[in-house]
Amino acid sequence: MLRLTLQEKITFLVNKAGSVSRLGIPSYEWWSEALHGVSYVGPGTHFSNVVPGATSFPQPILTAASFNVSLFYAIGQVVSNEARAMYNVGLAGLTYWSPNINIYRDPRWGRGQETPGEDPLLSSRYGSAYVRGLQETGDSDPDRLKVAACCKHYTAYDVDNWKGVDRYTFDAKVTKQDMDDTYQPPFKSCVIDGNVASVMCSYNKVNGKPTCADPDLLAGVIRGEWKLNGYIVSDCDSVDVLYKNQHYTESPEEAAAVSIAAGLDLDCGTFLGQHTEAAVKGGLINESAIDNAVSNNSNVVSNEARAMYNVGLAGLTYWSPNINIYRDPRWGRGQETPGEDPLLSSRYGSANVKGLQESGSDRLKVAACCKHYTAYDVDNWKGVNRYTFDAKVTKQDMEDTYLPPFKSCVVDGNVASIMCSYNKVNGKPTCANDDLLSRVIRGQWKLNGSSDRSVLLKNQHYTKTPEEAAAVSIAAGLDLDCGAFLGQHTEAAVKGGLLNESAIDNAVSNNFATLFRLGFFDGDPSEQKYGKLGPKDVCTPANQELARETARQGIVLLKNNPTSLPLSATAIKSLAVIGPNAKATKTMIGNYEGTPCRYTTPLDGLTALVPTVYSAGCSTIACGTVQLEDAKNIAALADATMLIVGTDLSIEAESKDRLDLHLPGQQPLLVSEIAKASKGPPAIADVIFGFYNPSGRLPMTWYPQAFADKVPMTNMNMRPDPETGYPGRSYRFYTGDTVYSFGDGLSYSKFTHRLVRAPEQISLALQENHICKSVECKSIDTLSEKLCQESVFDIHLSVKNVGPMSGTHTVLMFSTPPAVHSSPTKKLLGFQKVDLQSQMAEIVKFQIDICSHLSVVDEHGNTKLGLGEHVLHVGDLKHTLNVVVA
């Protein structure tokens, strides 16, 4: 830091980092994406005739439906292999702003498909496993990264644009309870379990404060509590939004100062580059904060800089995966995520990051980035957009729903980066929220990397000037700005006394740290650990087969009338294929996509098996008019009919949330009329011919249209409120009717469960002076680490396939805790996959830690263990476990 001028340091606060030729430091583009494969979204990655495409995996929401942690990890490994291969030929970077581990709390959210779903445990397991796969650190040098991942969007981000409420101005009102048991767990798992290299703060505010300018969230939680070993990055232009949209500061210098001071290391944009110097010179922030940010952004890279500079190679940072919780099916980005469950999202995210980064040491293969931190799941819903949306999130929901996937990304996946989101959480932009960035990502989770984005000034009006926005975001803990805001305003923030240059030092240090871990400064890349990877390692048959297997495992069969499925490929002489998605190409790839190895439409796949006849039925997905006669004619003549309907990115996507939960336009009419006309049963599954026995389970809840009519997408509370009639969100708390529930999914076979071994009572040996020894308590505070370890127990189940077909069974274990502290009605404890031949059985073991698995979060965000009856259940099997004080 001593050899860099203030102006040079500032150039390292933005995603398009500058070069310092006198020190041999090349320029670097931080922004790359790897949500479900190497993507062309983000300027850090390019496809060419050398590498024309990359393996495209299913959207995270489908992958999460497999409930297969090893699969989440394997996908991350393949993605980081291809990312490193592209990096070695100058087509990609090493820092990837993925996964998205936001909780998918509302199916109207346009980005729910990017996430692992609505459950904090699933989201946590997804996030940390994907991060570990991406970063792939090894035992010999665990701080080295294959690539640097980034868990995003921290936190309570799940509104993009809904009925005039957008993510840039939305203030997520979140209780302490919801924050800690819903929104925070995926991020906590990302940092602690995934050891993610980065966390991205979101656009929204949380309880009145922009996440990217909240020192409690950034410096306090991410760095302080979770001990992030990496950098904190803003969602693109989040610091700019903090100032211009959220009006959080009066000047851009102030915005630069508060974000850097809060813990931001990197600005996705140019805002920090423009205003940070003024913030330092204006006394708004100390230069040491900038030093920290620069160091965070470079800890992923060690002596490779000069070689990379000499040959002009591109970046190594990929802003994937998206691990936001898919809390509402109206969210336009739900398909990017692993779903609504925090555990599934956590496992998906950390496994994905581990596969991407593939760090056998401190070296990263590429740098992943979990996004969008946090409580981000509204893009553009009824005028509410992600730039202004303020996610009101309780502390309880934050901790048990929204944060777990990001925590897992950092802690389990060791992700290189976290991307903060556009939205605010409880009034504070995520990218200016020092509590979310510094305290949580770096403090609690110990992120070893940086955090990104900048939207604070322009949309949220969180600051009065861009300098203020730069200052508050850096001060909050932001390391990297996805945009130009910090580059434009940070110098003015320094000059105006809004920011001390030491804060810039911190941010730049965080960013450089990530580059060191990636081996960016280690000389000729061909001589390094992953230097032999090249075009031959992209789109390999093995990689494409893994993508196909992922799709198989994630397919969820929700309805199957007797004898409907599977169909016989030999008996069917003519299959009618009808629907606007039958010939879909890009729709099948999803968003944040790359160029795939090849496009295969559903019609192509079916025609390869049996003779087909095709009719679109609707000319577009919107289906304003329906062409029934041709469709009905071919259905009447065919042996069986397959309808391929649904949505695409014109209906739900980033910046576009759903207004209803129906099939678009006249698609329902098409379905009902074809059902009447066809001779064979209509089928809507890729496994209709029985070559693969479906085992996927829904990672989210699908609500009836009455829910969408009654419940505003902007209500962030997870728990129901009987006084107002609010029914709550997700399977853990929702009290109303559902169309389909979390965990639903059928097989062509049938499986039974039998309890083999489980305790009936756990007695806690508390100290003699403990209050619960003399007073009857309904819950107790978290136990000592020793007592927690002594209280771990195993549950053994016998699982038997009693059906006619071999198949894979997804075993989901839930608990119903005692009714204390508005506890969940049901909570996912763990999940496993078991392959069974017909009439065969196998013992499946679950290890239960009462402190982590059976605990709940109280109204103040504190972890409590409920005393009394905990009902454990798998399918129809139930077992009561009594937790008592000895």
Tokens of 745: 């999914």
Q: What is the pLDDT of residue 779?
A: 94
Q: How many residues are present in the chain?
A: 886
Lowest mean pLDDT among 267-276, 547-556, 626-635, 724-733: 267-276
Q: Is the pLDDT of residue 277 over 80?
A: no
DSSP bridge pairs for 317: 95, 367
CB 187 within 8 A of CB 233: no
Q: Is the pLDDT of residue 466 over 90?
A: no
CA 230 and chain centroid, separation:
18
Mean pLDDT of 87-99: 95
How far is Cα 101 from Cα 87, in angstroms, rounded to an integer? Answer: 25
Q: Which of 279-283, 291-295, 756-760 has the highest mean pLDDT?
A: 756-760
Lowest mean pLDDT among 74-83, 757-766, 834-843: 757-766
Cα-Cα-Cα-Cα dihedral of 469, 475, 478, 483, to 10°? 30
Instruction: Please give the mean pLDDT across all residues of the chain.
Output: 89
Sign of the dihedral through C-alpha 94, 371, 209, 403: negative
Specify the amino acid at residue 677: A
Sign of the dihedral through C-alpha 109, 179, 785, 771: negative
Q: What is the pLDDT of residue 615?
A: 96
C-alpha angle 88/90/91, rounded to 5°? 105
Superfamily of domain 751-885: Immunoglobulins (2.60.40.10)
How far is Cα 188 from Cα 228, in angstroms, rounded to an integer? Answer: 9
C-alpha angle 690/691/697, rounded to 5°? 70
Mean pLDDT of 380-391: 90
Catalytic residue among 171, 178, 180, 235: 235
Q: What is the pLDDT of residue 65?
A: 96
- At which residue do the structure tokens 């302080």 appear? 224
Architecture of the domain whose range is 317-518: Alpha-Beta Barrel (3.20)
Q: Is the pLDDT of residue 558 over 80?
A: yes
Question: Which of residues 830 and 587 earns the better pLDDT score?
Answer: 830
Q: What is the pLDDT of residue 219?
A: 94
Q: Which of 107-121, 243-257, 271-285, 367-381 has the highest mean pLDDT?
A: 107-121
Q: What is the pLDDT of residue 123?
A: 98
Lowest mean pLDDT among 461-475, 759-773, 779-793, 849-863: 461-475
How far is Cα 359 from Cα 579, in angstroms, rounded to an integer? Answer: 44
Q: What is the pLDDT of residue 276?
A: 80
Q: What are phi and psi of 613, to 5 degrees?
A: -125, 145
Cβ neighbours around 587 below 10 Å, total: 19
Q: What is the pLDDT of residue 360?
A: 62
Q: What is the pLDDT of residue 456?
A: 56
Q: Is the pLDDT of residue 681 over 70?
A: no
Q: What is the pLDDT of residue 686?
A: 52
Q: Is the pLDDT of residue 297 over 90?
A: no
How far is Cα 633 from Cα 646, in angstroms, rounded to an integer? Answer: 22
Q: What are phi and psi of 386, to 5 degrees?
A: -65, -20
Q: At what angle do helices 468-475 and 288-297 cross, to 10 degrees?
A: 60
Q: What is the pLDDT of residue 303?
A: 27
- Portion of the chain with pLDDT greater than 90, in percent: 61
Mean pLDDT of 132-152: 89
Q: Is the pLDDT of residue 300 over 60?
A: no
Q: Which of 440-444, 548-552, 834-838 has the highest mean pLDDT?
A: 834-838
How far is Cα 601 from Cα 585, in angstroms, rounded to an integer? Answer: 6
Superfamily of domain 558-693: Glycoside hydrolase family 3 C-terminal domain (3.40.50.1700)
Q: What is the pLDDT of residue 307?
A: 30
Interval 70-86: pLDDT, tens: 999 999 999 999 999 99
Architecture of the domain whose range is 30-303+525-535: Alpha-Beta Barrel (3.20)
Cβ neighbours around 830 below 10 Å, total: 22
Q: What contacts 313, CB < 8 A, 6 or more positions away?
A: 87, 88, 90, 525
Alpha helices in 213-286 (DSSP H): 238-244, 252-261, 271-275, 277-281
> Which of 745, 839, 832 has the alpha carbon at shortest distance from 801?
839
Q: Is the pLDDT of residue 536 over 80?
A: yes
pLDDT band at 333 (very low <50, low <70, confident <90, very high): confident
Q: Is the pLDDT of residue 383 over 90?
A: no
- Portion of the chain with pLDDT greater than 70, in percent: 94
CB 280 within 8 A of CB 486: no
> Which of 220, 191, 193 has the alpha carbon at shortest distance from 206?
220
Question: Which of residues 534 and 680 earns the better pLDDT score?
Answer: 534
What's the count of helices (H) and strands (E) in the chain, helices before strands?
Answer: 27, 50
Interval 7-58: pLDDT, tens: 999 999 999 999 998 888 899 999 999 999 999 999 999 999 999 999 999 9
Q: What is the pLDDT of residue 363?
A: 72
**Omega into 372 within 30° of 0, i.e. cis?**
yes
Lowest mean pLDDT among 271-275, 382-386, 871-875: 271-275
Q: What is the pLDDT of residue 309?
A: 30
Q: What is the pLDDT of residue 146?
A: 95
Q: Is the pLDDT of residue 790 over 50?
A: yes
Tell me the three state secondary structure of residue 350.
Answer: helix
How far is Cα 420 from Cα 372, in angstroms, rounded to an integer? Answer: 5
Q: What is the pLDDT of residue 626?
A: 93
How far is Cα 658 from Cα 653, in angstroms, rounded to an integer? Answer: 9
> Which of 176, 180, 733, 743 has the alpha carbon at shortest distance from 406?
180
84 to 147, 148, 156, 787: CA distances (angstroms): 7, 11, 32, 44
Question: Which of residues 775 and 792 earns the better pLDDT score?
Answer: 792
Mean pLDDT of 782-805: 91
Sign of the dihedral through C-alpha 576, 577, 579, 580: negative
Question: Which of residues 111 and 784 earns the better pLDDT score?
Answer: 111
**235 is an active site residue:** yes
Q: What is the pLDDT of residue 583?
A: 93
Q: Is the pLDDT of residue 149 over 50?
A: yes
Q: What is the pLDDT of residue 227?
A: 95
pLDDT band at 311 (very low <50, low <70, confident <90, very high): very low
Domain coordinates of the chain in residue numbers?
A: 30-303+525-535, 317-518, 558-693, 751-885
DSSP class per residue in 426-470: BTEEBTS-TEEEEEEETBTSEESSEEB--EEBTTT--EEBTTHHH
How far is Cα 338 from Cα 330, in angstroms, rounded to an integer? Answer: 15
Interval 601-650: pLDDT, tens: 899 989 988 999 999 999 999 999 999 999 999 999 999 999 999 999 99
340 to 161, 454, 682, 738, 842: CA distances (angstroms): 19, 26, 29, 14, 29
* Single pTM value for the model: 0.79
Interval 498-523: pLDDT, tens: 888 888 898 898 899 889 999 888 88
Lowest mean pLDDT among 64-73, 219-228, 476-485, 799-808: 476-485
